Structure 1
Amino acid sequence: MDWLLIALVASAALYGILAGALVPGARYRLSVEPDETWRTTAPCGHALGRGLGRSRCAVCGRTRYGPGAVWPAGVTVVLCAATAAVVGPRPELAVWLLAIPVGVVLAGVDWAVHRLPDVLTLPLAGGMAVLLGLAALLPASGGSWPGSLLGGAVLGGAYLVLFLAHPAGMGFGDVKLAAGLGCALGWYGWGVLILGGLGGLLLGSAYGIALMLTRGAGRGTTMPLGPFLLAGAWPALLVGAWTAGN
Structure 2
Amino acid sequence: MDPGPLTTAAALLWGALSARWLPRAAYRLAVEPGEPRRTACPEGHPLPAGPAGWVGRAPCPRCPRRPAGSRAATAVTAVATGLLAAVCGPRPELVVWLLLAPAAALLATVDLAVRRLPDPLTLPLAAATPLLLGAAALVPGHGGSWPTALLGGLALGGAYTALFLLNPRGLGFGDVKLALPLGCALGWYGWPVLFLGAFAGFLLGALYGLALMALRRAGRSTAVPFGPFMIAGAYAGLLAGALTT
**TM-score of the superposed pair, with normalisation by structure 1:** 0.93
- From 29, 54, 57, the equivalent of 2:56 is 54
- Residue equivalent to 2:35: 36
Report the alpha carbon displacement of residue 14 of structure 1 after superposing the two structures with TM: 2.4
In structure 2, the gaps of 5 or more residues are none
SS for the counterpart of 1:209 is: helix
- Residue equivalent to 1:139: 140
In structure 1, the gaps of 5 or more residues are none
Q: Does the 8 Å contact 1:24/1:70 carry over to 2?
A: no
Counterpart AA for 2:18: A
Deviations 1:44-77 (A, max 9, x none): 333332322322342243x22x322222222222
Distance in 2 (alpha carbons) for counterparts of 1:203 and 1:60: 36
Distance in 1 (alpha carbons) for counterparts of 2:120 and 2:83: 27
Report the alpha carbon displacement of residue 216 of structure 1 after superposing the two structures with TM: 6.2
Distance in 2 (alpha carbons) for counterparts of 1:33 and 1:161: 25
**TM-score of the superposed pair, with normalisation by structure 2:** 0.93
Counterpart AA for 1:234: Y
State the percentage of identical aligned residues: 54
4+ residue segments displaced more than 6 Å: none
Deviations 1:111-145 (A, max 9, x none): 11000001111111111111111111110010000
Distance in 2 (alpha carbons) for counterparts of 1:53 and 1:44: 18
Deviations 1:154-212 (A, max 9, x none): 11111111110000001000011111100000000111001000000111112222223
SS for the counterpart of 1:233 is: helix
Q: Does the 8 Å contact 2:200/2:236 carry over to 1?
A: no
Distance in 2 (alpha carbons) for counterparts of 1:80 and 1:43: 32
Counterpart AA for 2:23: P
Report the alpha carbon displacement of residue 150 of structure 1 after superposing the two structures with TM: 0.8
- Residue equivalent to 2:192: 191
- Residue equivalent to 1:123: 124
Distance in 1 (alpha carbons) for counterparts of 2:216 and 2:135: 47
